[in-house]
Amino acid sequence: MAASLSLAASSLAGFDYEAALVRCARGEQRALKEIYDQEASRLLGVALRIVRRREVANEVVHDAFLQIWQKASTFDSARGSGRGWIYTVVRHRALNYIRDDTRETELDTEAIEQIPDTADDPLASLERVSSEHAIRRCLESLDDSKRTSVMLAFVDGYTHEQVAERLATPLGTVKSWIRRGLAALKACLE
Amino acid sequence: MNFADAEERDALAGEYVLGLLTRNERAEFERELPRNRALAIAVRDWEERLWPVSTVAAPVRVSPALWAWIERDLGFVRAMPRPEVEPPRTSWWQSLAFWRTGAMIATAAALLVALVPAMRDIVAPPVTYIAVLEAPDRSPGWIVQATAGRPVRLTPLVSDTVGAQQSLQFWTLIDKAQGPVSLGLVEPNRAKTVPHKSLPGLKEGQLFEITLEPYGGSPLKTRPSGKILYKGLTVAQ
């Protein structure tokens, strides 16, 4: 299993996301399947962390791939990476799902306990982020409270209130940690 | 919201990308976005800075049904013809033995073979069962996704046409002695959610199916009266 994962990671370097999106925009169905084969299990993982229900995560990835296909022509490689664009589409759909009050909402405390969040060990979980991304080093350089708050919001889809509850910290403090954390990240990346 | 001040605008864009704005703030932000170029650039910059953080999420095994679902909805696969109408023979659950053997076992086995070596030990969410409901010609028609204690989701892969005097009805059978349980009527080409309490239980190899019934559902109440359009057995995901 470890072997198959490292294999997947090493093949990342060779995959040209921008070219695949351009081919999708031209209507090449095979290009979408290549993106899917390359990223589906990771994107399902991203969605599951946010929506916390397997069947909903499937629906998020399904909807995201429809959108990637339909919107591929709007992707502009001058403005950002193809892989980033794909992850953004998935996160956006997952967030829309959990923030949409009109959906049936279940009490999900049970599920939240089943999937550990980043507060358990944010530094360890950062090890999965490739060191080629400067954001990893920048997050590692933040103090624990800012790093954990930012990651609970971004990775686990927590609201300010949920982060405050998770960290047993007043809401105003958490809001300020996140604002200062974002400012520090921006400075670190510039 | 103050979009004029550059520092505040950038902070709001960061909070928006993190998903932290409240419902009302988000609505206001998204109204401003298409007409405020500086704001749109700030959002894009935050997305580009932050997306690699998503990769801390552990990968999750993908069901083979997921790509089939995407491909169908994009029209990559030609829609299968509707099954030919056959008169119902004996009661459907009496013929269950027939369905359980042969074709259905082959489908379940193929899915299992694909799933077993996968990444079971990375994340352990509650077990989800999937049943691909197939027409008699074996073409997939609907997908059932069910997790213990959660609503069951039924999603169409094909577009059915139903006469004005007809309804589609969704059923499950977990135990022959207990007989079939109706899970309600289904609108053609529309996903449906059924509360988990409506299920008699949930296990591997459980039968789900959709029958064609007179308008309003089976007059027999406790079992289908019409022909089976789609059926399938659950496989643990």
How high is the pLDDT of residue B197? Answer: 85
pLDDT of residue A106: 46
Nearest-Cα residue of chain B relative to residue A46: B57
Q: Global pTM?
A: 0.63
Pure H helices in A13-108? 17-25, 29-51, 54-71, 82-99
Contact B18 A80 (CB under 8 A): no
Helix (H, G, I), strand (E, B) or coil at A45: helix
A77 touches chain B (CB under 8 A): no
Counting as low any pLDDT under 70, the low residues of chain B are 78-125
Residue of A nearest to B63 (CA): A58
Sign of the dihedral through C-alpha B30, B34, B35, B39: positive
For every residue of B118-176, DSSP letters joined together read S-TTT--PPPEEEEEEE-TTS-EEEEEEEETTS-EEEEESS-----TTEEEEEEEES-T
ipTM of the complex: 0.88
Tens of pLDDT, residues B89-125: 445 454 545 455 555 555 555 555 555 444 343 444 5
For residue A16, the one-letter residue type is D
With a cut of 50, which residues of chain A have pLDDT below it?
A: 1-11, 102-113
3-state secondary structure of A25: helix
- Residue/partner pairs of A100-103 with CB below 8 Å, 24 or more apart: A101/B23
**According to the model, what pLDDT value does residue B27 have?**
93
pLDDT at B108: 56
pLDDT on residue B159? 82
Q: What is the pLDDT of residues A45-86, one digit of tens each?
A: 999 999 988 888 999 999 999 999 999 999 988 888 999 999
Contact B156, B191 (CB under 8 A): yes
**H or E stretch at B181:** strand B181-186
In this prediction, residue A3 carries a pLDDT of 40
What's residue A115's pLDDT? 66
Q: How far is B16 from chain A (nearest CA, A)?
A: 10
Of the partner residues B46, B56, B149, the one whose CB lies closest to the CB of residue A129: B56
